[in-house]
Amino acid sequence: MYDKAKIWVEGGAGGDGSISFRREAHVPRGGPDGGDGGHGGDVVLVCDASRRDLGALRGSKHFRAQRGRHGEGSNRQGARGEDREIPVPPGTQATAVDGSSIDLVAAGQRAVVARGGRGGHGNRRFTSSTRQAPRFAEKGTAAEADWIELRLKLLADVGLVGLPNAGKSSLLGRLTRAAPKVADYPFTTLSPVLGTIEGEDRQAIVADIPGLIEGAAAGAGLGHEFLAHVERCSMLVHLVDVAPIEGDPVANYETVRGELAAHGAGLEALPELVLLSKRDLLPAEDVEAAVGEWQQRVGARALGVLAVSAATGEGLDELRGRILAQLSELQPPSPAPGADPGDGEFEVEHRVYRPAGEGGYWVEREADGGFRILGRGVEMLFERHDTKNEEALAYLEQRLKEMGVLAALDRAGFEPGDDVRVGEHEFELHI
């Protein structure tokens, strides 16, 4: 099972605006007619219920959306670039290029991880009473791009935890229709296995988490690879072998509890049902005594203590009932048939970006006497215009004046002819 992947995602660049003039016979007022460039496509994660892990992303690690088409004359706008969709299984988590957290849990849910660039305006957008034939247009902006990590956390209600050979796989096979590998040696289970308990009015998904050993949270053994899958569980069923080949049952129990706490995600606080496994290896009176001792030992911290045998089936019906009943208390009921489907729709998270500094920019004097203007808004202006085009440069100076940037330069000690830098652009201002 592949539960991690690292991929490169890159939105499509925005298309450039067009510089065009309408020139036709018998049309006295042609004028600029450059169309806008199209926006670039986005890279989108799509939750696909048919996917089971992230293995398909191991072979293809680069995902790029289509760039926007450039604008054309006759006011023709460039086409928007197509999105690049990446199907992922339910339970996938990621961090988008802009830093937002993504958690996909339901089929059809979508999340943008790399946004495409904006298309540039054509020259017709820059006409005014004093600029009737602009010979400049905007460039399209670059898209978001970066490496992102995807992580799969299983959508299970119950996590079976315990040391290797505690009997988790055998128990899962008897409780559900799952068919995990069962053998008489440690680490038989190399990846989480899911099974379903069927109740009259609900189901419970149970995950067999590969065996934890001491130091698992720090990377020892296999358990550290799968502790994250337990984070989504509503409860834990902690198997303790009452007749282990090695070690003491109490010490084994505390070892697993310690690794859950060391993982650092609050796993030790999940409701826990303690399950004494392999009860068929002890006389009935010893089993009853062990259950009593463990109830005293764990006290109110645990949901209870049961003894079961996967070999004989003893205690399994009671265990199924306890799990289903406990989940009904821990989890809210599903929406009733006929309920408003809008109640479960995903809400789009809107973020407000507030500019820093004066008007979203600030001015710094550099060691060589030049001035640097910082601020995303100003930097975007220069990215979108050709500073070698005199008309474009004049337009930029006008915009800097309107934004108050020129006044800020004056306050910082600017003199006409001083060098001014914005991003990678450097020029002289004579104002």
**Domain CATH code at residue 300:** 3.40.50.300
User: For residue range 41-68, what is the model confidence (pLDDT) as tens digits?
Assistant: 999 999 998 887 788 887 778 999 999 9
Q: Which domain holds residue 398?
A: 362-428
Same domain, 216 and 103: no
Instruction: Identify whether 3 is part of a domain.
Output: yes
Same domain, 209 and 289: yes
Same domain, 19 and 123: yes
Give residue for tokens 């000690």. 413
Same domain, 186 and 97: no
Displacement of CA 338 from its chain's centroid (Å): 32
Same domain, 106 and 203: no
Question: In degrees rounded to 5, what are phi and psi of residue 98?
Answer: -80, 0
Full pLDDT tens readout for the chain, 431 residues: 557 899 999 999 999 999 999 877 666 667 899 999 999 999 999 999 888 778 888 777 899 999 999 999 999 999 999 999 999 988 899 999 999 999 998 889 999 999 999 999 999 999 988 888 899 999 999 999 999 999 888 778 898 888 877 788 888 888 886 554 444 434 344 456 778 888 887 778 888 877 555 544 444 444 445 677 788 888 999 999 888 877 789 998 998 898 888 887 788 899 999 999 989 988 999 999 999 999 999 998 899 999 999 889 999 999 999 999 998 888 654 444 444 434 434 444 444 444 444 457 899 999 998 999 999 889 888 889 988 888 998 898 888 888 899 999 999 999 888 888 998 888 877 66
Residue 52: CB atoms within 10 A of its CB come to 16
CA pair distance 38, 118, nearest whole angstrom: 7
What total of structural domains would you count in the chain? 3
Kindly tell me the burial class for residue 8, based on how many C-beta atoms sit within 10 Å of its own C-beta (0-12, 13-18, 19 or more): middle
Amino acid in the structure at residue 347: E
Same domain, 214 and 116: no
CATH code (residue 49): 2.70.210.12
